[in-house]
Structure 1
């Protein structure tokens, strides 16, 4: 019922409909008479006024606009996430091994863990209580998978990786592969063996087809609560502080250290061996080529513009050095002319007045 949900998420219930049974979450414009939705901003007011949902989660200032029961909270998005967990709980797979899984004799697997079809668990692996290993996953030798961690499917955990508790690794994630390290031998590239490992903290999430490279020497460290979106590359020996979040298609080059509570928007590129302070926020497509020691928001890149304007701008880029040199010469000429001009009568009068005083 609506009233029960309000109690479970700590919301204030306003309006009619406290006894309506709720059986699904839905979008405002696709809501049913048994559905619940949420509003996070005023731009959704038209959809809110027209919704057919039985109840809506929203902030106090929007409650008067709703045509249905209101669950009033300060953070509707967070409250909605909790409602989704309550109404649509995930069913964990049964404990045990699928018959097609290949498990080394020396692997230590807790009886409550679940190993899916076609998985490979190598020598020396430790899998703790409540772990779920989905189909087609590979856990290489001497790795540790912490309690309640879930590998959805086709995840590769390379040798000696340490995965914390309640970690979520989405399909295609690769943890602990050898990083991009090469030395020149004449015209050839020779691989530098990467002999370190990866350490993921507790409550980390890694998105689909993202990669976290092992340390060349030492560890690549991903702190507790870090959230990594899809298609992200994290180089060797990178350190990411607690509760930092990275959006899709970003890349972090080797040996960079990123602080706590940072946000890295989509398609951001971060160069190597940099120091990024706590609470730094990079907007989309920023190119980070230096260290940032102060918290704050930082941007770079060129916003999209009409193609004709962009072509004209690009054509002028090649002339910027010449234009700068011409401007500098003009400034020098203006300065020379000013120095050569005799002072005006008012200037001489002020000078004589000063002497008289």
Structure 2
């Protein structure tokens, strides 16, 4: 499309409104082409911006003077670039209808506009709404509900009685509604506690590859509207996640923890169970969360990498920390006694 049309559709202001440039692709700042549009999100990319060969660049007005090409001026370049990429590379939809190899129970309800891929299994009592796309090898177990325009990419398992909202995106290998990790001790054996709850995903949720959301032991595991869950994430039973929270890969949330709205959880964060996390709480990578954090803010606990020699010395000292703390306490008490004695003598 013409650059003028692209600017209009993503809500950008053109630095040169009279420029006649055709754009047919998105590209990287350092590997660009004259028909591509790229973006700059930070001043640290000034040097690359000055030498880019892109046809146009999306950036903040403050950087426009650095660009050697046409500029699309916006306050949020990343968001504008996402919209441009969606316009220039629209996703092709699966054909409407059911593949001949799909197995669909007689008691299932599939909207005529839905798409059911090869080798899918749709069990009794399932309801699939308008515009849903079920990719190959997916399994939808009994009495589950799939909301309108939701897409299961491939090899997704939706366990019994799961409720999935509208425009949800489930990536390959995601498992929604599996039994939670609940066991009771019987002597030396573990006895499984029946998991009789379910999972409820809100609208516009995204769940990454090989991530799992466990159903409630009793009641529901709830994932709010707009929540984004990356790959390889475990959500335990009866967890509640507030609207528009985002989680990066390899994090784990233990059962019955409640997470507020607008939170961000970086990679490899671990959360203990039965915690309360407030709105707008942000955990940095590898944080170990063992208590509740109800006030907004950013929290960390991971140990940054350091030279191996320094790390070995520090580890060797860890086992002496308790002894050192006790010695320090005794010294502090002794100093306090001496100071008191001096004051008494002065009086």
Match of 2:130 in 1: 129
Q: Check if 1:98 corresponds to 2:102.
A: no
8 Å CA contact 2:15, 2:73 repeated in 1: yes
The gaps in structure 1 that reach 5 residues or longer are 349-357
Q: Alpha carbon RMSD of aligned pairs, Å?
A: 1.2
Deviation at 1:337, TM superposition (A): 1.6
TM-score between the two structures when normalised by the length of structure 1: 0.95
Deviation at 1:341, TM superposition (A): 2.7
Q: Secondary structure at the match of 1:30?
A: coil
Bigger Rg, structure 1 or 2: 1
Match of 2:38 in 1: 37
8 Å CA contact 1:2, 1:17 repeated in 2: no
1:65-144 matches, cutoff 5 A:
65-144=66-145
Deviation at 1:343, TM superposition (A): 6.3
Match of 1:232 in 2: 233
Deviation at 1:340, TM superposition (A): 2.1
Deviation at 1:17, TM superposition (A): 7.3
Match of 1:183 in 2: 184
Q: Secondary structure at the match of 1:71?
A: strand
Match of 2:291 in 1: 290
The gaps in structure 2 that reach 5 residues or longer are none
User: Matched residues in 1 for 2:37 and 2:293: separation?
Assistant: 43
User: Matched residues in 2 for 1:185 and 1:8: separation?
Assistant: 63
Match of 1:354 in 2: none
8 Å CA contact 1:209, 1:231 repeated in 2: yes
Match of 2:300 in 1: 299
TM-score between the two structures when normalised by the length of structure 2: 0.98
Match of 1:355 in 2: none
Match of 2:334 in 1: 333
Match of 2:220 in 1: 219
User: Matched residues in 2 for 1:171 and 1:131: separation?
Assistant: 16
8 Å CA contact 1:174, 1:212 repeated in 2: yes
Structure 1 stretches of 4+ moved >4 Å: none
User: Matched residues in 2 for 1:337 and 1:132: separation?
Assistant: 78
User: Matched residues in 1 for 2:182 and 2:232: separation?
Assistant: 20
User: Matched residues in 1 for 2:195 and 2:127: separation?
Assistant: 22
Deviation at 1:18, TM superposition (A): 2.2
Deviation at 1:16, TM superposition (A): 7.9
Match of 2:325 in 1: 324
User: Matched residues in 1 for 2:7 and 2:259: separation?
Assistant: 38
Q: Secondary structure at the match of 2:124?
A: coil
8 Å CA contact 1:197, 1:218 repeated in 2: yes
User: Matched residues in 1 for 2:147 and 2:106: separation?
Assistant: 19
User: Matched residues in 1 for 2:109 and 2:342: separation?
Assistant: 90
8 Å CA contact 2:4, 2:17 repeated in 1: no
Deviation at 1:3, TM superposition (A): 1.0
Cα 1:76/1:342, change in 2 over 3 Å: closer
Deviation at 1:334, TM superposition (A): 1.2
8 Å CA contact 1:160, 1:197 repeated in 2: yes
Q: Secondary structure at the match of 2:30?
A: helix
User: Matched residues in 2 for 1:219 and 1:342: separation?
Assistant: 65
